[in-house]
Structure 1
Amino acid sequence: MKEISGRQFAERFALSPHSYAWLLGAGASASAGVPTGYQMIQEFRTRLFAAESGIGLREIDPADPIWQARIDAHHVRLGALPPKGDPLEYSRAFESLHSTPEDRRLYIRNQVSKGSPSLGHKVLGALLSTRRTPCVFTTNFDPLVESAATHAAQLLPAGDRALPTLAALDNAARAETCLRESEWPLVVKLHGDYQSVELKNTDEELQQQDGRLRLVLTQSLQRFGLVVVGYSGRDTSVMDALRSVLRDPVRYPKGIYWLCQDPDRLLPAVR
Structure 2
Amino acid sequence: MYSDKEMEDNMAEISEDKIKSIDYLFNRIISERVRDSMEPKYSLLMGAGCSVSSQIVSAKDIINMLKTIVYLRELPTEDTQTPFLDLEYGKLVPFLKRWYEKNQDNEKFTEFVEQKEQQIRDDIYKKIDTMPNYYEEVFYNIIHKRYQGYEDLPKNEKTIILKQLLEEYEDKIQSDMEYSFWFTNYSTASEDIHGFLSELMHNKQPSEAYILLADLYINKLFSIAFTTNFDNLLAEALSLLGVRSKELWFDSNEVDNTLSKTSPNIVKLHGDYMYHNTKNLSRETRKLASPLQKHLQNVLSKGGLIVIGYSGADNSIMYTLEKLSEKYSFPLFWCEMEEKIIQANVHWRVRSLVENSENAYFIKIKNFDEFVKKLRENYMIYSKLRRDKNGNLKKSKMEDSERDKNDVLYDDKYLSEALEKVRNIINEVLDENEKLRNRVTVVPPPSQNLFKLEEEL
**Normalising TM by the smaller chain, what interval?**
0.7 to 0.9
CA offsets 1:124-176 (integer angstroms, 9 cap, x no match):
21122233212100011111011111222x2xxxxxxx632111123247675
Distance 2:44 2:185 in 1: 32
1:3 maps onto 2:3 in alignment: no
Q: CA deviation at 1:109?
A: 2.1
Match in the other structure for 1:266: 346
- Checking the alignment, whether the CA contact within 8 Å between 2:287 and 2:317 is kept in structure 1 is no
Over aligned residue pairs, what C-alpha RMSD do you find?
Answer: 2.8
Residue 178 (structure 1) aligned with residue 259 (structure 2): yes
Aligned residues: 258
Deviation at 1:5, TM superposition (A): 3.3
Correspondence for 1:105? 194
Q: Is the 8 A contact 2:269 2:292 kept in 1?
A: yes
TM-score of the superposed pair, with normalisation by structure 2: 0.51
For the residue of structure 2 that corresponds to 1:260, the secondary structure is strand
Q: 1:110 to 1:134 in 2, by over 3 A?
A: same
User: Match for 1:207 among 286, 311, 316?
Assistant: 286
Q: Sort the Cα spacing of 1:86 and 1:56 in 2 relative to 1 into closer, same or farther, 3 A.
A: farther
Contact 2:104 2:110 in 1 (8 A): no
Q: Which moved more, 1:5-14 or 1:17-26?
A: 5-14
**Alpha carbons 1:223, 1:251 under 8 Å: kept:** no
Unaligned runs of at least 5 residues, structure 2 = 1-13, 34-39, 84-94, 122-170, 352-457
SS at match of 2:348: coil
1:168 corresponds, among 229, 249, 252, to 249
> SS of the residue aligned with 2:273?
coil
Please give the residue correspondences for 1:107-256 in structure 2 after superposition, counting only pairs within 5 Å: 107-152=196-241, 154=242, 163-172=244-253, 176-178=257-259, 182=261, 185-248=264-327, 250-252=328-330, 255-256=331-332
- Of 38, 62, 69, 2:100 maps to 62
Q: Which residue of 2 aligns with 1:72?
A: 110
Look up the equivalent residue of 1:265 and give its one-letter code: N
Change (3 A) 1:227 1:68: farther
CA distance in 1: counterparts of 2:114 and 2:221, whole angstroms:
49
**One-letter amino acid matched to 1:50:** L
Alignment check: 8 A CA contact 2:68 2:100 kept: yes
SS in 2 for 1:232: coil
Contact 2:249 2:268 in 1 (8 A): yes
TM-score normalised according to structure 1 size: 0.83
Hey, what's the Cα distance between the residues in 2 that align with 1:76 and 1:37?
19
Structure 1 residue runs without a partner (length 5+): 155-161
Q: Considering only CA atoms, is the larger Rg found in Structure 1 or Structure 2? A: 2
| Aligned CA distance change for structure 1 residues 219 and 71 (closer, same or farther; 3 Å) | farther
Change (3 A) 1:197 1:45: closer
Pairing partner for 2:69 from 47, 51, 56: 47
